[in-house]
Structure 1
Amino acid sequence: MIDLRPQGAPVLDRMNKEVDRRGFLRLAGAVSAAAAFTGSLAACGGPSSTAGTKSGDGAAPNPNGTIEAGISYALSTGFDPMTSSGATPVAANMHVFEGLVDLDPVTREAYAALATAMPQKVNDTTYRASLRQGATFHDGSPVTADDVVFSFTRILDPKNASLMVQFLPFLDSVSAVDAATVEFRLKYAFPLFPSRISVVKIVPRKVVEADPKAFDAKPVGSGPYQLIEATRQDKIVFKRWDAYNGPRPAKAAAMNWRLVNDNTARVNSLVSGRVQAIEDVPYVDVAGLKGKTTTDSVASFGNLFLMFNCSQKPFDDKRVRQALHYALDVEKIVTTAMYGQGIASTSYLQPSHPDYHRAATVYTHDQAKAKALLAEAGASGLAVTLLTTNTGWVADIAPIIKESWDAIGVTTTLDIGDSSGQYKKVDAGSFQVMAAPGDPSVFGNDTDLLLRWFYGAGVWPTKRFRWAGSAEDTQVRGLLDQAAQSADKDARAKLWNQTIDLIADQAALYPIVHRKLPTAWDAKKLTGFKPLPTTGLSFLGVATA
């Protein structure tokens, strides 16, 4: 990790604020912020006010400038877009790769990227898309229909264990009509098809097949920026791909992303001018930075969830899961640990999401109800080890969860550690309860996608909360499939609402709080920059002044 901390007052000021405001959390043993983002990437509604985003102070963009950014998360996975789920590589891939269709990183609206237009519907189960003429990969080779077919079929191949396949249950086959046209055959009508294929990034077949591991470490795409170098705990270096001819050209000559997971170092790198923007502003610093930089907090799907090992007693009983939710003092979590930068979850979706539905079961702070549910389940005197990741804001919340559970007679032990190590325990089944961040909205914002990430036929219900095969799991997937095939928007929404009610009642994996995502930047040095409603930073359309 690069230590970007300047000496002197900024660090001392921040230390004083933390001692005064967060004495409880520090004495409770909240650990330092580290770290890797997990396979739980855990997404979003529209951004909040972007007041103050007029950038560059009227100066003209500098086409020869270099963007310097402070990134919170280390490289926890590779870059291959078929399997990459780490926060930092996914954000990097936004600049390196294109899909036929991509989502605007700020508005989350779909637009034609490598395709000349949005896919054209031939009939209910057939679509066609034409490739942008002259598009090239970063090795200089042309993007062809064969590359598109390869990019989709390798995801559909079960042996590749792609994370994206769970988002494409409707897709039957992909074929090349000619060198620049691709045809998609669907298993059933899927109204969300044109925007959903944004989850598939187009890769060069020859490069991937020649050396998949090398491609994962140093990807080759067709996007506006070429990745030059990536060092796990240090930096990612990009340069403009001058042959790019698509809709989102690079407006800077280069980018250096500094991987600075230390909160103090990241904040001071912005204040000192060493970087021009940082993600994941520590909640304690949001107010203080507003006088020195432009800062905005955007409502997001991103959440902290509780996940139970449903194959282990007594957590196979929903009453125990519900009890531990009712015991939580979420108001204290939001006000004390998050400095107001969050909202208690009243649904699987955050209130800013266009499909928000208040769940039939809403977990308020009700200690009496929590105790009664434990007694009914025969789980009085329960002892729990709570697994959490050491991501800064999560580690700050963990002591409050422990305090809430201890207060109803549940003896709680905290196990806080690096996310990769914690998920090894989860995947091995050696855990009881986990509290972790989740944000699948980096892949898309439609409700079907957000629900399928955790509740579809993927790794989460099978290897993690171990719910697969239960009657309720079968019911959830049935509702999702019915909604996916419905051409009627209102009928689809009704089915999604039923799904949300069911997973809220079951609470096998369910959010405690939806967070706001604070971002800070120097508006005098960047033009066109806007904060995202997802984890990460985007510099598409951004230049230095």
Structure 2
Amino acid sequence: MKCRSALFGTMLVALTACSAPTQPTTQSTTPKAQDTVVLGLGSEPDSLSPVLGFAPDGGSLLYDGLVRRTPDLKLQPALAEAIPEVEGTQVTFTLRQGVTFHNGKPLTSADVAYTYGQLLKAANNSPIRGDYAAIEKVEAPDARTVVFRLKYPYAAILQRATLGIVPDGSDLKSDPVGTGPYTFVSWAKGDKITLKANDRYWGTRPAIKTLVLAYTADDNARATRMAAGEFTATELPPKAVAQFRNQQGVTVYEAPSADYRGVMFPLEQPVTGDVAIREALNLAVDRAAMVSAILAGAGSPAFGPIVPGTDWHNPAVTGSAAPERAKAVQVLEAAGWKAGSDGIRAKDGTPARFTLMYPAGDSLRKELALAMVSDAKRIGIDIRLAGLDWDAIYPRMAEDALIMGWGSPYDPDYINYELFHSSYIGQGSFNPGRYKVPEVDKLLDTGRQTSDPAARKKVYDAFQQRISDDQVWVYLVFLKHTYVVRGNWSGITVGVEAHEHATGGLFNTVPEWKPAS
């Protein structure tokens, strides 16, 4: 894609200081054995099948896509020999020679056609099927040629070619088989996944022979396990990494991201469905305090779903990092929300009160939710908190607000289509607020089908402005992803990350990690 951010390249260069070891480097910091590495992760996948939604953006160590991303977001060939030209409704890839799956089967174009065919098959009910709606079919005219036939010119088609490829005819629910640098060993659900290095890998073979992905949803518990030496590396909220800074034998890494946190509102409810309530909260929230106190400076204020500094961001969609409470009160008063004797506003007998949910084990979202409660109370809005597990959250998203996280640096079609297009209303965590505006649907459809970057920019500028005008969310902060790594390693690369960093980001560079001499 031509539209790339100069800022992201700058951010990547600037990471030299951010990711420098925070402790004196001594011989004792180098692991004496590199055979096994344990990564502490916060979220466990539902499936390990790319067809069923596992790491479609290239963050898996089990699979390769036709292309893959470098840390600075450029595309490079993976299973394909080269990046093809994209013109019109046909895109042709030529496969790399000599690649085999973990089971020894040679890779052919039939495997690619099968993978995408299974993803598009309605009966498989893939949660990411809508992301590939532009694909009519994928053909395999010979063993090394793959032809994508599109329903319409789709600007982001190469970005979608990071999907992991599985063998033709494989069972989507069986043990995973790919072509990636690691092979599957075992999965103890709720605990860990064990992988081993693929000795037949077509690329550079990993130095780390055994990789354990250990899952602990609770941030504090994960930090405790890291401190106890159970993990080689882990992902943690910015405040939780403080105890590891300047600690001998440990390095703290910070990665810029397009990952945001914000408040999703159920739009069919009497209080959160009132645009004046949402606008007032947007004005009243103290984003500067959230960045400094909750993120410990590892982030920036957010006002929309596309991170500032990228070519796709609309600079007109902005606001004040400091609260504007006087303006918020004016908005509420003008809309008929009057303060009662208890300080809580009401309109036509309905109090300005609603429930805000957050995942109970997520300390960062909990702190953001508590800050929202405090900021809202100052303008007469009463927010009740509910810390729940995701099984309890999902059924309530059409009724109660939620601290959500999303964001992608790859293409503006990513995530935004599912979050704001009316066709996704009520589909899991997509469009949970039930936002339905024909103008926005048309903009999102047009953005998908427009090839010219300048024309797409105008479309996505208009999209960002409209959802800002409608105050669909209150965007709070963009995060820097923070990691803690024990030992002295070479090969760790930090780049710009998406929301889903558990299957990508810094941990996606594990095949290149080597004990530093």
Pair 456,101 (structure 1): closer, same or farther in 2 beyond 3 Å: farther
Q: Which has the higher mean CA deviation after the structures are superposed, 376-385 or 144-153?
A: 376-385
1:434 paired residue number: 402
Pair 205,159 (structure 1): closer, same or farther in 2 beyond 3 Å: same
2:279 paired residue number: 322
Structure-2 separation of matches of 1:461 and 1:322: 24
1:80 paired residue number: 49
Pair 282,347 (structure 1): closer, same or farther in 2 beyond 3 Å: closer
Match of 1:384, SS state, is strand
2:63 paired residue number: 97
Q: Which has the higher mean CA deviation after the structures are superposed, 224-233 or 474-483?
A: 474-483
The question of whether the paired residues in 2 share the 8 Å contact of 1:131 and 1:145 is answered with: yes
1:367 paired residue number: 325
Gaps of 5+ in 2: 1-6, 338-344, 347-351
Q: Deviations over 1:105-163 (max 9, x none)?
A: x2222111111111344x52111112222222222222222221121122222333323
**Is residue 207 from structure 1 mapped to residue 164 from structure 2 by the alignment?**
no
Q: Paired residue for 2:181, among 214, 219, 224?
A: 224
The question of whether the paired residues in 2 share the 8 Å contact of 1:224 and 1:240 is answered with: yes
The question of whether the paired residues in 1 share the 8 Å contact of 2:278 and 2:471 is answered with: yes
Q: Paired residue for 1:147, among 111, 120, 125?
A: 111
Match of 1:476, SS state, is helix
Q: Paired residue for 2:37, among 45, 68, 74?
A: 68
1:50 paired residue number: 16
Q: How many residues align?
A: 479
User: Mapping of 1:365-444 within 5 angstroms?
Assistant: 365-379=323-337, 380-381=345-346, 382-390=352-360, 391-426=362-397, 429=398, 431-439=399-407, 441=408
2:466 paired residue number: 502
Q: Deviations over 1:372-391 (max 9, x none)?
A: 33334444421111111121
1:8 paired residue number: none
RMSD value, Cα:
3.1
**Is residue 159 from structure 1 mapped to residue 123 from structure 2 by the alignment?**
yes
Gaps of 5+ in 1: 1-43
**TM-score, normalising length from structure 1?**
0.79
Structure-2 separation of matches of 1:516 and 1:494: 28
Structure-2 separation of matches of 1:111 and 1:420: 38
Q: Deviations over 1:467-491 (max 9, x none)?
A: 6673x3x222322332333333222
Q: Deviations over 1:432-482 (max 9, x none)?
A: 31112224x3xx612222422422466456666456673x3x222322332
The question of whether the paired residues in 1 share the 8 Å contact of 2:418 and 2:431 is answered with: no
Residue 237 of structure 1 aligns to which amino acid in structure 2?
Answer: T
2:80 paired residue number: 115
Q: Which has the higher mean CA deviation after the structures are superposed, 285-294 or 94-103?
A: 285-294
Residue 408 of structure 1 aligns to which amino acid in structure 2?
Answer: I
Tell me which of the two structures has the higher relative contact order, counting C-alpha pairs closer than 8 angstroms and 6 or more residues apart: 1
Q: Paired residue for 1:312, among 241, 257, 269?
A: 269
Structure-1 separation of matches of 2:319 and 2:19: 36
Structure-2 separation of matches of 1:450 and 1:228: 32
The question of whether the paired residues in 1 share the 8 Å contact of 2:34 and 2:208 is answered with: yes
Q: Paired residue for 1:345, among 295, 302, 309?
A: 302
Q: Paired residue for 1:289, among 245, 248, 272?
A: 245
1:275 paired residue number: 231
Structure-2 separation of matches of 1:170 and 1:320: 38
The question of whether the paired residues in 1 share the 8 Å contact of 2:165 and 2:178 is answered with: yes
Percent of matched pairs sharing the same residue: 23
Residue 67 of structure 2 aligns to which amino acid in structure 1?
Answer: V
Residue 249 of structure 1 aligns to which amino acid in structure 2?
Answer: R
Structure-2 separation of matches of 1:260 and 1:82: 25
Match of 1:162, SS state, is coil
Pair 309,161 (structure 1): closer, same or farther in 2 beyond 3 Å: same
